[in-house]
């Protein structure tokens, strides 16, 4: 499949093709962006890296054995990936080394989300669990059993709440209590959500409509027809004078919408582009000042999960929330998730014979040095 990047002229909002690359041998399943790089995951079990400043393919990471299901950057130093092999991997986004690899779920990892502070992460998988990761101490903090397999989990912008999506239902959790404060029900299965503010959530699914919900009142603020086919992914961002939502659909269209201050009023269409492709995922790279969040916090900083979650665990004895055995990691310096080994592993250490030979740029340089 192809990776297509574009830009817009701020006055006319005219989409212009800027970078196109034949990225993978199978369809794309995930995409993530930081201030310089775009990374894509695929059913071909690889992660590709693109330098958007130079507009070049920067190499590939081959560590997972299974479809890459989720990719998340935290700042410019760390990338976290999840896949159908049940692994969550933490990557150094400078050297592109796999710092840690942990067996996170008994089934597939379906989605993960990093807290705005960088101290916590949440993941869901096909083992019917919601798992909390303490990124400061580098260990699994809690496991919560849920009735069905969730396929999306997402922190709010300030990290005061998070949502868990199961089919067409969205459970809203409060961080201070770690309990469900309410449930939002969509008409059809949900494929994508994005927070527009701390309390307003945009929801899209297996239909042509996008809905805005208030996470406090649980009421639908507005809805509008965005596409002619189901919506696969959404993303929101802010530029001067504009708060924008981008939608990508199976109909091949990518559309940009200008949000109104009053979220009860449907947004207006800024522009659209027909890609002539069956879109599966969406990311937005903004050519602007470097991200202020450089890396995950060090172990010296306290994690917000420690006190609050421990109180919850004592109060709610009936809830199936239990602390997993501490996977202590005394020598974790750069990475914060517990791994299978204490030494960093290169991204291409788990290459199978069936996979296409894909070598990172770093590896190429090292080989050249050895020859010399």
Helix (H) or strand (E) holding 89: strand 87-92
Q: What is the pLDDT of residue 362?
A: 54
| CATH number of the structural domain 194-288 | 2.40.128.630
pLDDT at 22: 82
Lowest mean pLDDT among 125-134, 252-261, 319-328: 319-328
| pLDDT surpasses 90 at 134 | no
pLDDT at 64 over 50: yes
List the chain domain ranges: 194-288
Average pLDDT, the chain: 80
CA nearest to 165, candidates 135, 134, 206, 193: 193
Q: Of all helices (H) and strands (E), which one includes residue 315?
A: helix 305-315
pLDDT score recorded for residue 346 = 43
User: What value does the mean pLDDT take over residues 343-367?
Assistant: 45
- Give the pLDDT of residue 21: 80
Using one digit for the tens of pLDDT, what is the confidence trace for 88-98?
A: 999 999 999 99
Rounded-to-integer distance, Cα 345 and Cα 99, Å: 6
The rounded percent of the chain whose pLDDT value lies above 70 is: 74
Q: What pLDDT shows up at residue 79? A: 94
**More confident call, 305 vs 241:** 241
More confident residue, 17 or 144: 144
pTM of the model: 0.77
pLDDT at residue 188 above 80?
yes
Stretch 224-238: mean pLDDT: 95
**pLDDT above 80 (res 120):** yes
- 41-47 mean pLDDT: 94
pLDDT tens-digit map of 257-309: 999 999 999 999 999 999 988 899 999 988 765 455 566 665 544 445 444 44
pLDDT of residue 297: 67
Q: What is the DSSP string of 262-294?
A: STTSPPEEEEEEE-SS----------SSPPS--
Residue 365 predicted with pLDDT over 50: yes
- Among residues 202, 218, 110, the alpha carbon closest in space to that of 156 is found at 202
Give the pair of three-digit tokens for residue 116.
Answer: 């705005």
Q: Give the pLDDT confidence score for residue 158 in this predicted structure.
A: 96
Q: What percent of the chain has pLDDT over 90?
A: 59
Selection from 77, 89, 135, 84 nearest residue 107 by Cα: 84
Residue 215 has pLDDT above 90, yes or no: yes
pLDDT band at 170 (very low <50, low <70, confident <90, very high): very high
Q: State how far the alpha carbon of 249 is from the alpha carbons of 13, 252, 279, 326, 351, in Å.
A: 19, 6, 6, 42, 33
Q: Which pLDDT tens digit goes with each residue over 297-348?
A: 655 444 454 444 444 443 333 343 334 433 333 333 344 433 333 344 444 4
* Higher-pLDDT residue of 20, 42: 42
């Amino acid at each position: 499949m192809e990776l297509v990047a574009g830009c817009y002229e701020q006055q006319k909002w005219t989409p212009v093709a800027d970078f196109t690359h034949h990225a993978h041998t199978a369809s794309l399943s995930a995409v993530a962006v930081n201030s310089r790089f775009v990374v894509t995951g695929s059913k071909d079990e690889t992660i590709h890296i693109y330098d958007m400043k130079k507009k070049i393919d920067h190499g590939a990471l081959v560590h997972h054995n299974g479809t890459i299901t989720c990719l998340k950057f935290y700042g410019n130093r760390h990338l976290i990936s999840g896949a159908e092999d049940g692994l969550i991997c933490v990557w150094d986004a400078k050297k592109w080394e796999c710092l840690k690899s942990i067996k996170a779920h008994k089934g597939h990892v379906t989605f993960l989300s990093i807290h705005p502070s960088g101290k916590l992460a949440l993941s869901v998988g096909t083992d019917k669990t919601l798992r909390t990761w303490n990124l400061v101490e580098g260990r699994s903090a809690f496991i919560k059993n849920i009735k069905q397999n969730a396929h999306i989990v997402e922190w709010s912008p300030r990290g005061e709440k998070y949502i868990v999506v199961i089919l067409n239902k969205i459970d809203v959790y409060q961080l201070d209590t770690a309990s469900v404060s309410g449930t939002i029900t969509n008409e059809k299965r949900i494929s994508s959500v994005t927070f527009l503010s701390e309390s307003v959530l945009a929801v899209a699914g297996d239909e042509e409509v996008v809905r805005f919900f208030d996470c406090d009142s649980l009421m639908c603020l507005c809805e509008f027809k965005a596409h002619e086919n189901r919506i696969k992914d959404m993303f929101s961002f802010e530029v001067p004078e504009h708060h924008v939502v981008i939608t990508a659909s199976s109909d091949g269209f990518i559309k940009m919408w200008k949000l109104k201050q009053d979220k009860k009023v449907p947004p207006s269409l800024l522009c659209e582009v027909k890609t002539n492709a069956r879109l599966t995922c969406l990311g937005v790279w903004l050519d602007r000042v470097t991200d202020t969040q450089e890396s995950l916090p060090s172990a010296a900083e306290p994690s917000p999960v420690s006190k609050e979650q421990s109180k919850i665990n004592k109060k709610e004895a009936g809830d199936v929330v239990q602390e997993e055995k501490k996977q202590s990691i005394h020598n974790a310096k750069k990475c914060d998730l517990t791994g299978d080994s204490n030494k960093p592993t290169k991204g291409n250490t788990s290459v199978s014979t069936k996979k296409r030979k894909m070598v990172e740029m770093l590896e190429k340089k090292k080989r050249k040095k050895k020859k010399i």
